Chain A
């Protein structure tokens, strides 16, 4: 009888978090399904989409530029240190090209935008939730998913690839700066190697990753904001959760997408 009680307690402590986890998973799936449905059915709000694109894209440019240029620069340094001076010249351009386009530009842009935009989205929508503005939208016959969520999701999917393209160029330029001005390699050779080695699949990989990351960031921002409750503290939690969740998912998906495309 006694052991029966222990077992019950054990299952109970194990069960509660599990139940909560499964509940959250169900809630998230429902949110995703609704978000997707409302993103592809009218009415659309092009003005709100444009506003989000400018918000995410334009204002994220400086941080994306800054992170990718230093990423390109540090990769150039490391490659030079790793290869003996013999062979480094052609290796640098190639390593910078591949690591920036495939990995670094999408990951850095994703993480930077998650911090800036994911947090802002969660805070804005969370505030709208706890101040009943989302209910107010409904009472004015406007679907909050179409009005708030859809423009943000689309903006994320559209803008992140553009940011990554720009990040690619700036990152490669960073590598060039180090190779030419610090390591004194021949600029013409560097450019020639870069152009010769440039492959569509490298750029595509980065773009696909970026689109997925953009979706994840907007989704996590909207979801956490939408479900937040309990005043300012709830909004604060939603903001933190949005950034942490999207950062983790970005890193995991980054691995999975690389694995899918390059492991064969």
Chain B
């Protein structure tokens, strides 16, 4: 039964920046405990979409419901409790470079859940271990880590507060294939362990197929196709085929 409950419901979402329409009527649902992957070309507004859901960007119109509760048109403060149940792995990591690795991971625990620093540090090291990092990196600064390690720390920070919804913005971009697969496994693992709902953005089709329960494609401001991984393999939607197979020619025109 649980699987049928809607966790996030996005309806007819619009967002423009100046004259540029980015989201033009997005409809999307993430069910409880489900892992949804959104694919789509660069600059189609995937990051904008998840920032709208998290209240970081205010949409022009439309509806976003979290657990059935409407968030659009309310103040950030009104929605704060809902946003506190979310975690986010940012596209560029967005680690706080004035803080050490463990302070990054423990940030939500210390500032939000008011956990004592000593306990929070132990917790942080535990979560770091979950993402395959040893206690020796805990006191380093984020700038001393490689890109792959930074992604893992970002992942650890996103899951440390045990969120109900986790967003992953291009978790495998810029990583070698092996590290990318390690991150995929970590995502699957941590989402399962937390029983969380996940919304992942990616260009990486191998990663999408691996972590998705369902895949949706964003194109020209709308979700033009969605389905399961096996449906993705058999679909004859020309846009999806072109994207999945990575062809320069097709209905999707790239502006050069």
Listed in ascending order, the chain A residues whose CB lies under 8 Å from chain B are: 124, 127-128, 131-133, 135-142, 147
CB contact under 8 A between A136 and B96, given known A141-B111, A141-B112: yes
Interface majority SS on A: helix, strand, loop or mixed?
helix
Q: Are B111 and A138 in contact (CB under 8 A)?
A: no
Partner of B91, one of A132, A138, A140: A132
**Chain A interface: which of B80-88, B179-187, B198-206, B232-240?**
B80-88
- Least Cβ–Cβ distance between B224 and chain A, in angstroms: 27
Ordered by A's residue number, 19 sampled pairs between the chains whose C-beta atoms are within 8 Å are: A128-B96, A131-B92, A133-B94, A135-B90, A136-B90, A136-B94, A136-B95, A136-B96, A138-B56, A138-B83, A139-B56, A139-B86, A139-B87, A140-B107, A140-B112, A140-B157, A141-B83, A141-B111, A142-B112
Q: Are A139 and B92 in contact (CB under 8 A)?
A: no
The 3 A-B residue pairs with the shortest CB-CB distance, nearest first, are: A132-B94, A136-B94, A141-B112
Listed in ascending order, the chain B residues whose CB lies under 8 Å from chain A are: 51, 54-56, 76, 80, 83-84, 86-88, 90-98, 107-108, 111-112, 157, 161
Query: How far is A131 from B93 in the complex, measured between Cα atoms in Å?
Result: 8
Q: Are B111 and A140 in contact (CB under 8 A)?
A: yes
Query: How far is A137 from B55 in the complex, measured between Cα atoms in Å?
Result: 12
- Least Cβ–Cβ distance between A204 and chain B, in angstroms: 36
Partner of B80, one of A127, A128, A141: A141
List B contacts of A132 (CB < 8 A). Answer: 90-92, 94
| Sample of 15 more A-B contacts, CB < 8 Å, known A140-B157, A142-B107 | A128-B96, A132-B92, A132-B94, A133-B95, A135-B51, A136-B90, A138-B56, A139-B83, A139-B86, A139-B88, A140-B108, A140-B111, A140-B112, A141-B83, A142-B112
CB contact under 8 A between A133 and B96, given known A142-B111, A142-B112: yes
Query: How far is A138 from B94 in the complex, measured between Cα atoms in Å?
Result: 12
Query: How far is A147 from B96 in the complex, measured between Cα atoms in Å?
Result: 12
- What residue in chain A is nearest B88 (Cβ atoms)? A139
- Least Cβ–Cβ distance between B115 and chain A, in angstroms: 13
Query: How far is A235 from B208 in the complex, measured between Cα atoms in Å?
Result: 34
- What residue in chain A is nearest B96 (Cβ atoms)? A133
Query: How far is A214 from B73 in the complex, measured between Cα atoms in Å?
Result: 37
- Least Cβ–Cβ distance between B99 and chain A, in angstroms: 10
List A contacts of B157 (CB < 8 A). Answer: 140
List A contacts of B55 (CB < 8 A). Answer: 138
- Least Cβ–Cβ distance between B74 and chain A, in angstroms: 15
- Least Cβ–Cβ distance between B114 and chain A, in angstroms: 10
List B contacts of A137 (CB < 8 A). Answer: 96
- Least Cβ–Cβ distance between B34 and chain A, in angstroms: 20
CB contact under 8 A between A141 and B108, given known A133-B96, A135-B94: yes
List B contacts of A131 (CB < 8 A). Answer: 92-94
Query: How far is A138 from B161 in the complex, measured between Cα atoms in Å?
Result: 14
- Residue from A131, A132, A137 whose CB has the most chain B CB atoms within 10 Å: A132
- What residue in chain A is nearest B154 (Cβ atoms)? A136
List B contacts of A124 (CB < 8 A). Answer: 98
List A contacts of B80 (CB < 8 A). Answer: 141
List A contacts of B91 (CB < 8 A). Answer: 132
- Least Cβ–Cβ distance between B127 and chain A, in angstroms: 14
- Least Cβ–Cβ distance between B136 and chain A, in angstroms: 24
- Residue from B83, B86, B94, B161 whose CB has the most chain A CB atoms within 10 Å: B94
List A contacts of B94 (CB < 8 A). Answer: 131-133, 135-136
Query: How far is A131 from B154 in the complex, measured between Cα atoms in Å?
Result: 13
- Least Cβ–Cβ distance between A159 and chain B, in angstroms: 19
List A contacts of B88 (CB < 8 A). Answer: 135-136, 139
- Least Cβ–Cβ distance between A148 and chain B, in angstroms: 10
- Least Cβ–Cβ distance between B15 and chain A, in angstroms: 16
Partner of A141, one of B84, B90, B97, B98: B84
